[in-house]
Chain A
Amino acid sequence: MKIKETFENYTFVLPAVMIFSIFYIIPFIWVFQLGLFEWDGISFTKVFVGLDNFKEIFLQDKNWWQSIWNASYITLIALTFQNILAFMLAWACDREIRMKNFYRVIFFIPPVLSEVVVGMAWRFIINDIDGANIINRMLIGMGFGNLAHNWLSDPNTALTTVALVHCWKGFGWGFLIFLAGLQTIPRELYEAARVDGASAWQSFKKITIPLMIPVVVLVAILTVLGTMQVFVLIVSLVGGEFAGHTSVPVLRILASMRGSSRFGYACAQGITFGMVLIAISFIQYRFSKKGH
């Protein structure tokens, strides 16, 4: 009887296990296996090179580590600027303000737009010769004419400009999750604090922030995973890697696959990148656990 029950239980989970294995586990193993070969993506024969691809990534490929650095920089801006903005706006919309539903809709428009559309739109807003040059015109209008320049073609500002456009596109997700988190905090806690004479800042510090930590951790992990993999926005904003200044890991993997036809190396890069993401997420998780 027990065997039959066990068999039945396994039968129920079998379809899910099969789908998960076919679409996740087997490709993952296969990618790792391909990382040990030199392969052009076309031939039926692959040359086993052991850990040579990984050795090249770690010891020789400066472009790869520059791309990791660039993606980390964009992520850092997203973690701070984007998420603080999202949190503040969510906090504002959680309070009794006029037209809060309207703001909720407006703030959620950028995330649902395609990255290509956002890139093209912002290119039009920022660029002067093939765009409307709105940012520079505003700067000149406000008396900061000396700051006006070609934001996307200047190596000093290209990556930051990309990062800020990415933040504009992404803050809506954080906003939505933060808002959902804020709405789960019982109102009675704030009322009790007010009765006890707590100021708005004290309520925020002692009630809102501690109770929002799990949500903050979740948003932070999602931000890291989403931002480190950014590339479509970069292609539509600056056309590609711009002498390495806007190079990111996914663009490097694509360059290895398409430009160099080095599929094995691209797989090794993918594995390395995955490890970097897992490590960052693990560190974040550990920190949050400690803080909690």
Chain B
Amino acid sequence: MWRRGIGIFLFLIFAISGCSSGKVDSKPTISVWHWMTDRDAAFQELARKYEALAGVKVNFELYAPSDAYSQKIRAAAQGINLPDVFGILGEKRDFASFIKAGHILDITPYMEADNGNWKNKFFIKALAVNEFTSGNSYGIKAGFYGVPIDIMTIQMVYNKKLFSRLGLNPNWPPKTFQEFLDIGVKIKAAGMQGLVSGWGEVWMIDCLANNYAFNIMGKDKVLATIRGDIPYTDPDWIRVLSIFKQMQDSGVLAQGLVTMINKSAEQLFANEKAVFAFNGSWCVNVYKGMNPNLEYGAMLPPEASNQYPIAIWGGAGSSFMVNVRSKNKEDAVKFLIWLTDQDQQVYLAQATNNLPANKNSLTKIPEILAQFARGMDYATHPNVWGVSEFSLVIEAFDRGIQSIIIGEKSPEQVASDVQKIKEREMAKKRAR
């Protein structure tokens, strides 16, 4: 009998303690979802600092790889269970879809408060990626919808040791496209590998092609093409496509480039097996991990024309958005303001070798990162153009460049194929 009594007593104790909420915590916990494996440790450290400072716990939850993260965010958006703060991987149209579906807080009032105190801390181009200007083609109310936490530029890097071995000045990277092609001939003769990049994953091909499109025909003509006013069969576009054929013919491209994944390209460059690489500023951290003694410099893609300046892709590297439905959104914004403050940005830059989004934090970064940062003057990004190309057109364009590199199609054939798809997609759009 007494055993049963003790049993009931214990059951009641556990039941009551299980039902109670334990310690009543008045401070909220902010949950942040991200995909950045290289920055997770730094984020955790910053979360600890913020909790000590503000008493607000921040849970950084890492979901990698980025593809899996991307799907998780979409699934969470459908289920209306997004975290307080999250990042979006995708194109501007995906960003716009999230806003249209009512998932993202318009942070313009916070940015503009105190005479734009928060807004003015950032590089303008970093903010532009998170901004929708008035009359944008996505139909989004003008304003800022994301907070850049770092910036990036995608440029070329060259190996200084291999440059010396080729009899070139290691402090004088090629400025013109012809100089670049001439180096290709030397690389071929020396039996070395030239440019490596993740061109098997295609988007980086698109990036370099766009760089040269801006250089050869200027921004206005590129945007006019996207709007459908200029065909891809225009001689300037054929010239852009011919750039890839010229590179292939000169020997400046590494063998097997069209099936190369970026991780392999990074390994090859870090192990001093390739003279050039086309990569984003995140590569500084990657190369440091693979070969701390690597001597290299960053350079802009060599100009193919002197009519317009070369443009490179750059701007916000990673951004965070605040969930409009979150009950902690005010605290989330406060945390993001703190995260993008000078000290935290310096810490992030030093710990992760990424470029800070806060322009006042640039003073304490290594020289190679500073070289990438200087590229911001030439930076542009499809997400700030206000118009976006049909994804099927982009795909046909990138696959076409792969075909040119392997000698399967001529630039003219690719231009014609791309234009056909462009016309089909435009007709479809008009019919809707």
Listed in ascending order, the chain A residues whose CB lies under 8 Å from chain B are: 40-44, 60, 63, 123, 127-130, 150, 152-155, 158, 236-244, 255, 258-262
Contact = CB atoms under 8 A, between A and B. Distances in A.
Given A239-B200, A259-B395, A261-B90, A42 B98 contact: yes
A262 B91 CA distance: 13
Contact of B264 (A128, A130, A158): A130
A239 B259 contact: yes
A242 B200 contact: yes
Given A242-B402, A261-B93, A261-B391, A129 B254 contact: yes
Contacts, number: 94
A43 B97 contact: yes
B67 A129 contact: no
Interface of B: 67, 70, 74, 77-78, 90-91, 93-94, 97-98, 100-101, 103, 193, 198-202, 254-261, 264, 267-268, 273-274, 391-392, 395, 399-400, 402-403, 406, 408, 424
A134 to B, nearest CB: 15
Given A43-B97, A63-B395, A238-B200, 16 more contacts: A42-B78, A42-B98, A44-B101, A129-B255, A130-B264, A130-B268, A152-B259, A155-B408, A239-B199, A239-B260, A242-B258, A242-B402, A243-B399, A244-B399, A259-B395, A261-B93
Contacts of A153: 255-259, 406
Main secondary structure of the interface of A (DSSP, over half): loop
A153 B260 CA distance: 9
Given A42-B94, A155-B406, A243-B406, A150 B256 contact: yes
B333 to A, nearest CB: 22
A40 B258 contact: no
Main secondary structure of the interface of B (DSSP, over half): helix
Contacts of B258: 153, 242-243
A43 B101 contact: yes
Contact of A240 (B77, B103, B202, B268): B202
A243 B256 contact: no
B268 A129 contact: yes
Nearest to A152: B259
B89 to A, nearest CB: 9
Contacts of B268: 129-130
A242 B91 CA distance: 22
Nearest to A43: B101
A42 B259 contact: no
A239 B70 CA distance: 19
A43 B260 contact: no
Contacts of A63: 395
Contacts of A127: 256
Nearest to A61: B392
B408 A243 contact: yes
A142 B226 CA distance: 53
